[in-house]
Amino acid sequence: MPASTLTRKSVTDRYQSEFPNSRKLSDQARQVFPSGVTHDIRHLEPFPVYVERAQGAHKWDVDGHELIDYFSGHGSLLLGHCHPAVVEAVQKQAGRATHPGACHESEIEWGQLVQKLIPSAERVRFTSSGTEATLMALRLARIFTGKPKFLKFAGHFHGWHDFVIPACDPPYDGAAIPGVAPGVQAETVVVPPNDPAIIEKTLANDPQIGCVILEPTGGHFGAVPIRGDFLKALREITAKHQRVLIFDEVISGFRVHPGGAQGLYQVKPDLTTLAKILAGGLPGGCLAGRADILAFLEFRAGKPKMKHPGTFNANPLSAAAGVATLRLVASGEFCQRANRTGKLLREKLNQMLVERGFNWVAYGEFSSFRLVPNYQGPRPASDDFVPYNGDLEKLDGMKNKQLVHAFRCGMLLHGVDTPGLSGWLSAMHNEADVDKTVTAVANTLQFFREEGLIP
């Protein structure tokens, strides 16, 4: 849809006209769910889009629009929507048993695939989500070290439980978190990313910190990227001070490389949390790591044990999807394909932004992209480029929510669904999708320019 057809109405008005069935469903949902949504990231003003079906890198909404999808199942669909091998595995398992309330053979193969691919995975314990996996990691670290505190990095997201939610989003000033007890929040030590000296000093000065957790490619999958040199330094520092190192690879696991960030950068943490791609788009997570730490899940006479039930741990449907997915991921082909297409998208976006004179910039790593509006600085000379030298506040700080919502609406009007100013690619995205996406961004920004929303 050319930008000229949008200028008759605001982007919000046009969106409401073009997506009437989504609006009707949203009106119903608001009577059921707080703000009408079941996940914060799906919140969109004036209302979210409702999807009916999906295939590969595309999905179709209830109004019949075909959309290029950059949600990719919140990052869980490296193989794209409804990959035949995953569909077949889940359908076959559904006819056998969905919940036998017993051990089953598929959970063993699933765990063995994790051990094969993830370097730190001496032992594996399945959970139902990434949030549960990080909760388990911290509790086991406390049992193992006898130390109550842990260290995390500002802007890194490790799920929504009480201990890890502080400083995952701006502001990063240590303000009280609604619903989190001050005593719990006091056990969470927050430092800025990418500064080994601060970590060294913090661990040396606080013997009550038992572990360090981070997203090894950077918070929110690289909003402020982290590279191999920092990970190697962090491994050395935590080993020196005898602290447990936890890689939260819920997003990066099996996406940046079949072995995750630790496989790519050859840095071995003590514990690793996984989810998303792990279960092939179904609910599922796990904690993998050192056998002596996970031993505190074992039934051992005279030894402390972490209690860990969980009705849907290693459920057969998720196991079936996970096994089918990891068998394919193991080759490395799908990671490489998604990474190449992500690089192509970033390059073409930046070329278009310069040609059209928009003061925005694209950056990112692997199979992702990010857009920075109102950018003032040098243009990328290579794909290693990070705007503002990785300044946390400028890259992951407070956003103009009105602009973000308007951008999403504009992109949807042009046949593209993005979670804000960023997105995940799957191995099913291709060059045609890239070209259509670049055109969608160009037309959306041109509309903003004509309306005076951006210069």
Q: What is the pLDDT of residues 202-237, one digit of tens each?
A: 999 999 999 999 999 999 999 999 999 999 999 999
Which phi and psi (to 5°) does residue 241 adopt?
A: -95, 5
What per-residue confidence (pLDDT) applies to 4?
41
Task: Quote the tokens at residue 402.
Answer: 């009105």
CA distance 414 to 67: 8
The answer to whether the beta carbons of residues 371 and 454 sit under 8 Å apart is: no
CA distance 412 to 431: 19
- 10 Å CB burial of residue 18 (0-12, 13-18, 19+) is middle
Judged against a pLDDT cut of 90, whether residue 173 lies above it is answered with no
What per-residue confidence (pLDDT) applies to 9?
76
- What are the residues facing 288 on neighbouring strands? 124, 272
The answer to whether the beta carbons of residues 137 and 123 sit under 8 Å apart is: no
Percent of the residues in the chain that have a pLDDT greater than 70, as a whole number: 98
What per-residue confidence (pLDDT) applies to 10?
87
* Residue-wise DSSP of 277-342: GGGTTSS-EEEEE-HHHHGGGS--TTS-------TTTT-HHHHHHHHHHHHHHTTSHHHHHHHHHH
Q: How confident is the model at residue 6 (pLDDT cuts 50, 70, 90)?
A: very low
Note the pLDDT tens digit of each residue in 346-366. 999 999 999 999 999 999 999
What is the three-class DSSP state of 192?
A: coil
What per-residue confidence (pLDDT) applies to 8?
54
Q: What is the mean pLDDT of residues 174-187?
A: 94
76-89 burial, b at 16+ Cβ within 10 Å, e below that, comes to bbbbbbbbeebeeb
